[in-house]
Structure 1
Amino acid sequence: MTKKIAIVGPESTGKSTLTKLLAKHYDTLWVAEYARYYCAALTAPCTMQDEINMFHGQIALEESILAITEKDFIFCDTTFLTVKIWSDEMLGETPQMVLDALSERTYDLYILLDIDLPWQEDPLRDFPHMREHFMATWHKELKNLEANYIVVGGIENRLQNAIAAVDQFLRSV
């Protein structure tokens, strides 16, 4: 069974970059963040239906990678837990199908990226002033799931710290 290692965290913490670098380092596959592509095409504020679409899209991307790999593990550039966090924050509720899937579709390790990197402007990022809030939210959500997670930070040595976390995880399985 292929293990899933999720790279998660608030906006502008280097998730996409780190996910690609880790996949290259370990010569494995990675799953892109579906919401980035979806939101880039939005022409109106995000709705509950959009969140549901992003949930299904993220799962479909993961399933497509899992279907073609024989690797022991893959990396996921975020997870559908992001849908819960954004739905709660922006719409005041989470679609029930997302809540139901949280306990059914688990990840073997979450690497929660710290907010120690400088903010990088991006048209799809909205909350530079709320990084602490979202970091606390990620901690809360991962604890609620009783998830296996580790916080990884470092500006100059972020990749090396993440590799050390993954190596530790791999030794334990």
Structure 2
Amino acid sequence: MLRVALTGPESTGKTTLSRLLAAHYHTAWAPEFARTYLETRGPRYTLADLEAIAHGQLAAEEAAAAHAHRVVFCDTDLLVIKIWSEHAFGHCPEWILRRIAQQQYDLVLLLDVDLPWEPDPLREHPTHRQHFYDLYHKELSSQVSNFAEISGPPARRLEQACYLVDELLADESRAVPAAVGRPLA
């Protein structure tokens, strides 16, 4: 099962693109757990809330993967929790940092801030999106993650993402038949 995470600052189209990709590839996607969590508890959160959100996001990813076909799309990842935790509380819980280091996505799509801000009671920083984008980019670069930047209007974003996912699926398809039918040593 290939895993593709969508990450980036607020109001960059992660949810929309996750849904579109899942529909395009006839597969499952894991919604952003933080949205559901904060809609029921209110927009204020503590470090303990961020930890609960991290656990919920991991569970949502596993549940989506159990119903996915070939690829699962994750609307956000633990990197979001790390960046928000460090911003809001000055540090991130160690277990989240360890989990990020262990977590393997086949592809991470970093969504650019070139879409207009859409106000939402759960969004916090309309004027700091570039700052946060730069943090995501730095983190992904330092992790040597297989990531790509996605930008432009929504139709262009879907086109870019599909191209990258198609390449990923083609690479996987080429790798599998090479082992099939080989005599055992």
Q: Under a length normalisation based on structure 2, what TM-score does the superposition of the two structures give?
A: 0.87
C-alpha separation in 1, matches of 2:42 and 2:8: 25
C-alpha separation in 1, matches of 2:161 and 2:147: 12
C-alpha separation in 2, matches of 1:30 and 1:68: 9
Q: Which residue of 1 aligns with 2:3?
A: 4
Q: Which residue of 2 aligns with 1:134?
A: 132
Computing the radius of gyration from Cα coordinates, the structure with the larger value is: 2
C-alpha separation in 1, matches of 2:18 and 2:42: 28
Q: Which residue of 2 aligns with 1:122?
A: 120
- Are the aligned partners of 2:15 and 2:75 in contact in 1 as well (CA < 8 Å)? yes
Work out whether 1:90 is the aligned partner of 2:95.
no
C-alpha separation in 1, matches of 2:46 and 2:16: 28
CA apart distance, 1:43: 3.8
Alignment equivalent of 2:145, drawn from 135, 147, 151: 147
CA apart distance, 1:44: 6.7
AA paired with 2:62?
Answer: E
Q: RMSD value over aligned CA atoms?
A: 1.3
Q: Which residue of 1 aligns with 2:169?
A: 170
C-alpha separation in 2, matches of 1:47 and 1:86: 11
C-alpha separation in 2, matches of 1:23 and 1:169: 15
What is the identity percentage for the equivalent residue pairs of Structure 1 and Structure 2?
42
Runs of 4+ in 1 over 4 A off after TM superposition: none
Q: Under a length normalisation based on structure 1, what TM-score does the superposition of the two structures give?
A: 0.93
Gaps of at least 5 residues in structure 2 are 173-185
